[in-house]
Amino acid sequence: MDRFNPRPVFVAEELSSGCVAVCQTLGIYVVSNTTVNTLVAMPLPILRRELSLGSRCVSHIACCLQISFDALDMDMDSDSGHLAFVGPPSRRRLLVTDALHCAVHIIDVVGETHEGYVAPPGTLRGPRGLAARGNLVAVSTATYDDALRQGVHIFEGSGTRWSALRIIDAGFQGAGDAYGRLLSPRGLRFTADGMGLVVVDGYSKTVNMFRVEDGSFVRHVVTSMTSVNDVEEWEGGWLVSTSFPATITFMVDGEVHSSMECRRNEFGRRYTYKSMAFAPGLGLFVRDSCSHTLQLYATHDDIAMASMSDVRVEWMAAVARGTEARRRRAGVVRAEGSSEKRPRV
């Protein structure tokens, strides 16, 4: 985490509790508001010498879509409202977990329309975290009823047609098996190669990796971390967010590489990091459920690049073009000087 600037470059306030998802294809980020059951889409900020933000809300999807993040049931966990984008660039759609209706919705954010379900209402009790990659979607579930097993449901499909593939919920074998099984899964992500699925288990204080192909346990990413909520793959390791204290830790090969602890803000409010979303070239979006804010942390390199003047950027581009042109000319001269005759380029 030493590559990140310790202070956020952007903070959006008055958002209530909820989660965040980023779509650089559409140029937006979306936050869920679990107090009034809404989704709000906003333009992505642009790192410049002064941070540039969109002047208007792209989409404000109201509760008329019948999405509710509160289960209103003592046997179910109401920690829903998690978000993930899925689909090709020409048809990006937002997925939303809905605890009250036991469903996972498919939303056209720009068109502000409901397009169907990954899991129809009543089919998935206690939906929580979401992860999507290609034609796969993973949903973590948890209930307070001990008779109902917590786990991760894997769906396969595209568009509005999805079918259940398998469930990761049994005890897994391996080092540290004293943790037994997934007791309270939360945030989760597919690995970059699509072969693994990393799942946060808040109750056992672990982060575990499973094989997507058959759901078998691979290894522990974290073996003991209090109040862990979400994960993001980054720079050959994993960023792990926690609540008490609000910390983002960079784990590499199961070991702590670096960490960033964020203390109370200027108003004395405690930070509680619930959800993360990484945007390459921009930074790490962190949804804080205690101070009701969204924070963007950028790397020192990205900030330095953004701080360059337009004239300097144009000069660097001209130098790069000139260097490339000299390489091409040198290649032509060497070719002409060889015994083999080659056509001029």
How many of the other CB atoms lie within 10 Å of CB of 140? 30
pTM recorded for the entire structure: 0.82
Pairing of strands 38-43, 28-33: antiparallel
- Tens digits of residue pLDDT in 18-53: 899 999 999 999 999 888 888 888 999 887 655 555
Q: Where do the structural domains in the chain lie, given as residue ranges?
A: 10-307, 309-345
The pLDDT of residue 265 is above 90: no
Report DSSP letters for 244-291, one per residue: TTTEEEEEETTEEEEEEE----TT-PPP-EEEEEEETTTEEEEEETTT
Domain 10-307: assigned CATH number:
2.120.10.30
Mean pLDDT over each residue of the chain, to the nearest integer: 81
**φ, ψ for residue 167 (rounded to 5)?**
-125, 130
- Tens digits of residue pLDDT in 276-302: 999 998 999 999 877 788 889 998 888
The pLDDT of residue 239 is above 60: yes
What single letter denotes the amino acid at residue 242?
Answer: T
- Tens digits of residue pLDDT in 247-259: 899 999 888 888 8
> Apex CA 44: angle with CA 29 and CA 186, to 5°?
30
How many of the other CB atoms lie within 10 Å of CB of 327? 10
Residue 59: predicted pLDDT: 59
Strand-pair partners of 119: 104
